[in-house]
Amino acid sequence: MTGTAAPETSPRPWPLVLTVPLVLLGFAANSLLCRAALSDASADPATFTAVRLGTGCVVLALIVGLRGDGFARPRVGPSLALAAYAFGFSWAYRQVTAGTGALLLFGAVQVTMLLVARLQGGALPWRKWLGAGVAFAGLGVLCAPSAAAPPWQGALSMLLAGVAWGAYSLLGRGSTRPVADTAASFAGAALLVLPLLFLGNLHLTPRALVLATASGTVASGAAYSLWYAVLPRLGAARAAVCQLAVPLITAAGAALLLGELPSLPWAIAAALVLAGIGLVLRS
């Protein structure tokens, strides 16, 4: 995921060679855990999302307390964007495989942030336009009607989740206390998701509860905190390049753990999306 601006530094930073792989594994784990819980209907999207956000909020609050940073109030914009991302993410993984979902999400986040930068008056040289077009074409290949294409409802839900995460990242660019603000956003998003629990058809098996808790505490709360700690040392360009690995890690994990082998259209789409984003970063 794309980080917010002005991240906090850690007093005793861990080596990047250790922290960066841990963070990327955490990002990929979110897709794997969510897909594992929702692919066999062990949980419904609303309950899984509520548990994920709630447990993530607890972990982040504990980290903020231990750091002595002071707590922040939830803001409507980031909380709403985070809630939309988390629910769309869960809803999509009822139908979309883990690797496909990660690729759709990652591509949508990057394209969204690029387009918003352009709308805000940022200059886009031809190489960035070309890169965005190639990445968007990759998403089109992935979603084009075929036997291997994901259901359009799930694909659309994940694309919207990516747009929401891009908006969340953009809204947090001015944060001077990213971990504290993220904890506040998780609290606000959890409150916004609560009304969905009254829609009926709620269920959560003990196995799904464990998966949702792991997603919230380890893959979300702890991983996001580590990400904010290493961002100042990585820089924006290297951080974006590192994230290119997330869909590939997710696809490998899905093949090993979930038996979801990548299709040929997925491989073509991944090559196009990664090449397009690479062009954007290079420019």
The DSSP code for 281 is H
Domain count, the chain: 1
219 lies in which domain range? 16-282
Cβ count within 10 A of residue 42: 18
Say which residue the tokens 């040289």 belong to.
Answer: 125
Q: Is 237's pLDDT higher than 70?
A: no
Question: Does residue 222 lie within any of the structural domains?
Answer: yes
Q: Please name the residues in contact with 98: beta carbons below 8 A apart, sequence gap of 6 or more.
A: 31, 32, 34, 35, 250, 251, 253, 254, 258, 260
Cβ count within 10 A of residue 94: 21
Query: Comparing 211-215, 226-230, 236-240, which segment has the lowest mean pLDDT?
Result: 236-240
Question: Does residue 45 lie within any of the structural domains?
Answer: yes
Cβ count within 10 A of residue 232: 15
Burial class (CB in 10 A: 0-12, 13-18, 19+), 255: middle
Distance in angstroms (rounded) separating the CA atoms of residues 81 and 65: 25
Cβ count within 10 A of residue 264: 9
For residue 183 the two structure tokens come to 């904890």
Distance in angstroms (rounded) separating the CA atoms of residues 181 and 71: 8
Question: Does residue 235 lie within any of the structural domains?
Answer: yes
Q: Is 94's pLDDT higher than 90?
A: yes
pLDDT for the residue numbered 1 = 56
125-167 residue pLDDT tens: 777 778 777 877 887 777 776 656 788 899 999 999 999 988 8
Indicate the pLDDT class of residue 266, thresholds 50, 70 and 90: confident
What average pLDDT does this structure show over 83-90? 95
- Percent share of the chain, pLDDT over 70: 87
Distance in angstroms (rounded) separating the CA atoms of residues 194 and 184: 16
For residue 191 the two structure tokens come to 């409150």
Question: Does residue 147 lie within any of the structural domains?
Answer: yes
Question: Does residue 194 lie within any of the structural domains?
Answer: yes
Question: Does residue 2 lie within any of the structural domains?
Answer: no
Virtual torsion, Cα 193, 197, 201, 202, nearest 10 deg: 90
Do residues 227 and 25 make contact, with C-beta atoms less than 8 angstroms apart?
A: no
Question: Does residue 90 lie within any of the structural domains?
Answer: yes
Question: Does residue 10 lie within any of the structural domains?
Answer: no
